[in-house]
Amino acid sequence: MIRYIFLCFAFILISSPATLRAEINTDGRILDIQQVTSDQGITAWLVEDHSLPIIAMRFSFTGAGAAGDPADKQGLSNMVATMLDQGAGDYDSQTFQLLLDDHNITLGFGAGRDDFGGSLKMLRHHQDLAFDLLRLALTKPRFDEEPLERMRNAALSRIRNSLSNPRWIAARIMNDTVFDGHPYALNAGGTLQTIGRIDDAAMRDVVEKRLGRDNLVISIVGAISADEVKDRLDALFGDLPAQAELTPAETIKLQNQGKTVLYEHDIPQTIIQIIQPGIARDDPDYYKAAIMNFILGGSGFGSRLTEEIREKRGLTYGISSGFFNLEHAKAFQISTSTQNDNVADMLTLIRAEIDMMRDTEPAKEEVADAKAYLIGSLPLRLASTDSIAGLIQNMQLDHLPPDYLDRRAAKLDAVTVQDVQYIARKMLAPDALTTILVGRPGNITPSVIIETLPHVE
């Protein structure tokens, strides 16, 4: 999800900015990113910054995420992520957690659909312990029965809790609908059945096969030098297998395009998720699409969807658009919610805004405003050591060059009003919109009614 947010510049508007940690350097670069390669050939991006004694690190194993989980063990990677910090080496679960807590070390793992990864943040003077705990977690996880049982219970609680969250329900149905037949359609968080089947052996298999040096991407920010990073890299990751054994997923075209899918749920406000094919990050038209999205629904206040639907008519508390990019599927989404009786009107209005975006050139001011924000707000996104680490990690995962930030403004600036209409006509597909509704919407004729939530029980 972090990666997804990064891809949608405009969504960043909602995040709270913090200190700009890297202003324009004397050599004119926005961020001084060093590429550090260890003796064993492990590479990391580093932004060295000693203004605070903090070190933040991100690491990802690409292609090692939940899309590789078997259908009868949905939730497997996610369970590995929750178990890696529950005991490793000589430390049992409680000892491991105590070492983290007592030294203010933040270590967390996560499984996305594509990648498996994590983050580590610490005070500089606790770095030996912090890095060693990470090394142990990755190479000598214990997967003891006691914490495993606890984490299974926590996962079951989480799934049951989700069942009273209509937004989660809408997302679940959306994934199942548009990725039908693909591993992306499965429930990365697991089902009430599959959680119980995840055992020690399955988790060890994930760690041993999917985490290799060849699919590892690392970013480090803070009070640490390039030489120190070099040594750390080998100590941390040198024991991992040189090559991961991955089963790559296939590219998938969004399924069930044009359909309206309803899940009846007894709530007064219907959750609306609209999704259609999107655009790849490395597509030459990407910047045109970024500006188009900002104008349509990416910017919150000031976007056409917000102005027409929230500000003028009061139909919703929030409406936004953005890109939803996975390794093997590129999508564009509009999310909102409204009182059940207003759903039909809302869908008509959204459709009209999509048509307008396609049929007419945007105003010059709209495009200029979009550029001004997308370019001008960059400093606010270089927030904490942590957020810079997230930013450069995502740049790596998106195969962007280290000088990307320096070149980004020019690319945005080159986009014209004609370009915006061009990409709107090319990308926006009013007849291919898949619409997910959760609630009791009035005046709607769904093409599909979901009776039982897929991949949950």
Partner 1 sequence: MVIYIIGMRRIAYIALSIFIVTVLAAAFNLAIQKRSDVTAAHTDELKKAATGKAPYDEKIFGAESFTLPNGMKAVVIPAHRAPVVTHMVWYKVGAADEPRGKSGIAHFVEHLMFKGTDAYPVGEFSRIVRQLGGNHNAMTGQDFTAYHQSVAKEHLETMMRLEADRMRGLIFPPDDVDSERLVVIEERRQVTENDPRGYFFEQMNAALFVNHPYQHPTIGWLHEVEALSRDDAIAFYNTHYAPNNAILVVAGDITAEELYPMAMAIYGDIPARAVPERNWTAVPPLLGTQRLVLHHDSIRQPLVRRAYRVPSARQDKDDSLALTVLASILGDGMNARFYRSLVIEQRLASSAGFGYGGTAWDDGRVVMSATPLEGISPEAVEAAMEEELRSLIRDGITDEELQSARTRLIDAAIFSRDSLTGPAMIFGYTLVTGGTIDDVEYWQRDIAGVTASQIHDVAARYLDPDNMKRRPYVTGYLLPANQSGAQDTPPPAPAPEEQAE
With CB under 8 A as the contact rule, which of the stretches 108-116, 175-183, 365-373, 429-437 interacts with partner 1?
Answer: 365-373
Residue 451 near partner 1 by CB under 8 A? no
Residue 97 near partner 1 by CB under 8 A? yes
Residue 193 near partner 1 by CB under 8 A? no
Q: To the nearest 10°, the Cα dihedral for 305, 306, 311, 312?
A: 0
Distance CA 252, CA 161 (A): 30
Q: How far apart are the first and last CA of the chain?
A: 24
Distance CA 390, CA 211 (A): 20
Residue 154 near partner 1 by CB under 8 A? yes
Please pick, from the candidates 40, 165, 360, 447, the single residue that binds partner 1 as defined by CB under 8 A: 165
Minimum CB distance to partner 1, residue 57 (Å) = 14
Please pick, from the candidates 34, 139, 255, 377, the single residue that binds partner 1 as defined by CB under 8 A: 377
Q: Which is nearer to partner 1, 74 or 82 (CB)?
A: 82
Residue 104 near partner 1 by CB under 8 A? yes
Residue 406 near partner 1 by CB under 8 A? no
Interactions with partner 1, residue window 65-94 (CB under 8 A) = 93-94
Q: Which is nearer to partner 1, 225 or 247 (CB)?
A: 225
Residue 402: φ, ψ to 5°? -60, -25
With CB under 8 A as the contact rule, which of the stretches 33-41, 95-103, 235-243, 440-448 interacts with partner 1?
Answer: 95-103
Closest CA to 399 of 60, 127, 138: 60
Beta-carbon count within 10 A of 118 CB = 20
Largest Cα–Cα distance of the chain, in whole Å? 66
Distance CA 333, CA 355 (A): 15
Contact in structure between 395 and 46 (CB atoms under 8 Å):
no
Residue 156 near partner 1 by CB under 8 A? yes
Q: Which is nearer to partner 1, 241 or 318 (CB)?
A: 318
Would strands 269-277 and 106-111 be described as parallel, antiparallel, or unpaired? unpaired
Minimum CB distance to partner 1, residue 98 (Å) = 5
Distance, CA of 181 to chain centre: 22
With CB under 8 A as the contact rule, which of the stretches 32-40, 204-212, 241-249, 375-383 interacts with partner 1?
Answer: 375-383
Residue 152: φ, ψ to 5°? -60, -45
Residue 90: φ, ψ to 5°? -85, -5
Closest CA to 172 of 181, 154, 182, 184: 184
DSSP 17: P
Interactions with partner 1, residue window 258-317 (CB under 8 A) = 265-269, 271, 299-302, 307, 310-317
Distance CA 234, CA 237 (A): 5
Please pick, from the candidates 2, 4, 5, 17, the single residue that binds partner 1 as defined by CB under 8 A: 17
Which x/- pattern over 206-245 shows residues binding partner 1 (rule: CB under 8 A)?
A: -----------------x-x--------------------
Please pick, from the candidates 361, 369, 398, 406, the single residue that binds partner 1 as defined by CB under 8 A: 369
Q: Which is nearer to partner 1, 121 or 281 (CB)?
A: 121
Residue 166 near partner 1 by CB under 8 A? yes
Interactions with partner 1, residue window 106-145 (CB under 8 A) = 121, 123-125
Please pick, from the candidates 356, 380, 429, 448, the single residue that binds partner 1 as defined by CB under 8 A: 380
Residue 27 near partner 1 by CB under 8 A? no
Residue 198: φ, ψ to 5°? -80, 115
Q: To the nearest 10°, the Cα dihedral for 415, 419, 425, 430?
A: 30
Please pick, from the candidates 88, 292, 378, 389, the single residue that binds partner 1 as defined by CB under 8 A: 378
Minimum CB distance to partner 1, residue 320 (Å) = 9
Interactions with partner 1, residue window 29-58 (CB under 8 A) = 50-54
Radius of gyration of the chain (CA): 23
Interactions with partner 1, residue window 317-346 (CB under 8 A) = 317-318, 337-339
Minimum CB distance to partner 1, residue 64 (Å) = 26
Q: Give the DSSP H or E segment for 438.
A: strand 434-439
Distance CA 381, CA 383 (A): 5
